[in-house]
Amino acid sequence: MHARPFRSALYIPGSRPRALDKARTLPVDAILFDLEDAVTPSEKESARETLGRELEAGGYGDRVRIVRINALSTEWGAADAAAVAEMSCDAVLLPKVNGPADVQALARMMPHLPVWTMMETPGCVFEARAIAAHPAVQGFVVGTNDLAKDLNARVGAGRMELMSALQMCLLGARAAGIVAIDGVYNAFKDESGLRAECRQGRDLGFDGKSLIHPAQVAIANEIFAPSEEEIALAERQIAAYEEAEAAGQGVAVVDGKIVENLHVETARATLARAVAIRELNAAGDATVSAGG
């Protein structure tokens, strides 16, 4: 589990200066600067220049800056990779990945940048463990829209039609110890639907949610953060276990449930995540105060 929060990962078109500027003020954990789907073919070249200027200007604070390029198989992919290699960003996001060979091709072009991969084809889902195990790969972002298209699936509210793919991606990520971000929720005005899907992703084990609209950020941040009740329970579990251990016992009981070492590990991870979120929020508040 990662202490560094990735509760919210917002897609921002690399071709829109106003959106790129607004992203500096949004309380997101990561920004997915997009040169792929959100940019028309006629804007591909200018989008690289626009995004490069905005990233160089800075102002994104502690937000993780990830740039999604076009697939290397497209006419724009290689030029995107060359441009992003010179940008002030934290990682590059590669779409249409089919296996570790695609990651290796990109890693050779920009060996200094970590790679994230879109998990959005049936082939890449089967290769999830091998892709995650590549030493350059730092995270997955599930592309549920593309997966649904390729599967010819009619996806309902519970996403049962995508569940095998979601869990295989998550298993691959967890086996390698990398970040796993859930797919987007398309109906950005449907708060109850977004809340339900965020809960589902959180309960499956995802680190956060990829988002298509700033209005979705608050809900993702809330649901993928430990609640006050979870924090209090974690503190009680740790205290009870340490007390039992001091008495020479290997287990404790909290609220009628056994607490073993594995539960304590989870509890400590919960507290570490809560501390990291508090620190991130404090840094964001300080940036706003300094700027305002």
d(CA 97, CA 107): 13
Per residue, the 3-state secondary structure of 120-185, as one string, reads CCHHHHHCHHHHHHCCCEEEEEECHHHHHHHHCCCCCCCCHHHHHHHHHHHHHHHHHCCEEEECCC
Where in the chain are the domains?
8-223, 228-291
For 33, the 3-state DSSP assignment is: strand
289: pLDDT strictly greater than 60: no
Residue 166's pLDDT is 98
Q: How confident is the model at residue 292 (pLDDT cuts 50, 70, 90)?
A: very low
Q: Stretch 96-122: mean pLDDT, rounded?
A: 97
> Which CATH number, 3.40.190.10, 3.40.50.1220, 3.20.20.60, 3.20.20.70, labels domain 8-223?
3.20.20.60
| Whether the Cβ atoms of residue 134 and residue 103 lie closer than 8 Å to each other | yes
pLDDT tens by residue, 124-156: 999 999 999 999 999 999 999 999 999 999 999
286: pLDDT strictly greater than 80: no
Q: Stretch 73-90: mean pLDDT, rounded?
A: 97
The reported pTM is: 0.93
